[in-house]
Amino acid sequence: MKARFHDGLTAAVHTVEVTVDGETLAFEVQGQAHRWSLGAVETERVGEAVRVAPGARGAARLVIDATEWAAATLGSDLERRSMRREMKLVIGLTAFAAAIALFVFVGMPLASGPLARHTPPDYERRMGESFEAQLGVALKPCKGALGQAALSRLGQRMESAADSPFRFRVQAVEAPMVNAFALPGGAIMVTDDLIKMAHTPDELAAVIAHEAAHVERRHVMQAVWRSLGLGLALDAVVGGGSGAGQQAVILAGSFTDLRFSRDAESEADARGQALLQALGLSSQGMAPFFERLAAKGQSQTAAEVQELLSSHPDSLRRARESRVRARPGAPAFTPAEWAAIKAVCSGQDRPLRLPRLGGKRTATLVNGSLQPASGLE
């Protein structure tokens, strides 16, 4: 077979005839015979050719057509050595992939709970502030000051009943989806579409209590640690310093990426209802809300609830369980607060009529401010 020979000392290129006899590669250059042991040569695939060098003996090399080289060395020790090397590589990569998978899908989930519990609260607060700032670019806080104040007060009440080092900061945000989510350090965001979907103060309070329970139980930080494990695995695969790990942690701050396990969701349901009951508030809103979620998720017009269903699965099961735990109590919001919350993201200037109490209209909402109603209707 034809080959190009480079002696490694000059720029000269010689066309030579190469033969493979047993375990020896032979060719002749300007009357000088060369014999290389196939057991010692080093090969490298370069496009459609193979570069063959005599091991560590200098920089000389042959460049041979890959197809002809494969045919000439078929069944030789070189081919067997190459196959063994490839097999070792495959086994090594498989073992590495298995180790990464165990780390991401078994090790980090098991370790995320203890890691979250031992994460310093100040570190979690700073992380939450960073996530909140990033999300603020896309999710704008609603402008209704009275509604935001009512949500904030409920968060403060939840904080007083919870065993948590964090301030529970509840706010409504504008987003084209039905969702509520908690961030590390105590921030709880409720989308305007979810507020629209809530029929009663009890339902919205149940959703907020559920998210408050995630914060108290450090479930949010557990999700961040799991995401961090994925980021470390990405860095190991694509090379350290690539930023893949950092990007995965940043993505963990997105409300669509902070997924919780079924056990964590069930725990947050039960603890959320317990927080409401500790405050003397009704915990009866969780079941009907989940039932309506499940009903909408089964309809043909369920696009508006897919985000919440994807991160809060098994709505019917959870509705049944929460109904068993439900207890009556006071509503979480006054009629005036509820009206302000329902209008928190509307931005409307026209007066918003509030519910009647004892046959009288209590107030109207005008340009974001509650104004006392005058007279009977």
Say yes or no: 25 and 134 in one domain.
Answer: no
User: 68 and 121, same structural domain?
Assistant: no
Q: What is the pTM of this model?
A: 0.59
> Do 14 and 64 have their domain in common?
yes
229 falls within a domain = yes
Domain count, the chain: 2
21 plus 131 within the same structural domain: no
Residues 237 and 153 in one domain: yes
Whole-angstrom distance, CA of residue 263 vs CA of residue 269: 10
**Whole-number CA gyration radius for the chain:** 34
Same domain, yes or no: 198 and 285: yes
CB burial of residue 373 (10 Å; 0-12, 13-18, 19+): middle
pLDDT digits (tens, 9 = 90+) for 39-87: 788 888 888 998 888 876 568 889 999 888 888 877 665 555 666 666 7
In whole angstroms, what is the distance from residue 260 CA to residue 272 CA? Answer: 15
Same domain, 147 and 51: no
Structure confidence at residue 80 (pLDDT): 58
**35-38 CB contacts, 8 Å cutoff, 24+ apart:** 38/73, 38/76, 38/77, 38/78
Output the pLDDT for position 103: 53
Same domain, 223 and 345: yes
Domain hosting 291: range is 116-357
Q: How many CA atoms lie within 13 A of 7 on its CB side?
A: 11
Q: Is 22 among the domain residues? A: yes
Do 62 and 27 form a contact (C-beta atoms < 8 A)? yes
Domain termination residue (choose one: 15, 43, 74):
74
Residue 193 located in a structural domain: yes
| pLDDT < 70: residue spans in the chain | 56-58, 75-86, 96-97, 99-113, 116, 228-259, 296-313, 347-377
Provide the pLDDT for residue 142: 95
pLDDT of residue 359: 39
Residue 267 resides in a domain: yes
Residue 105: inside a domain: no
Cβ atoms within 10 Å, residue 7: 15
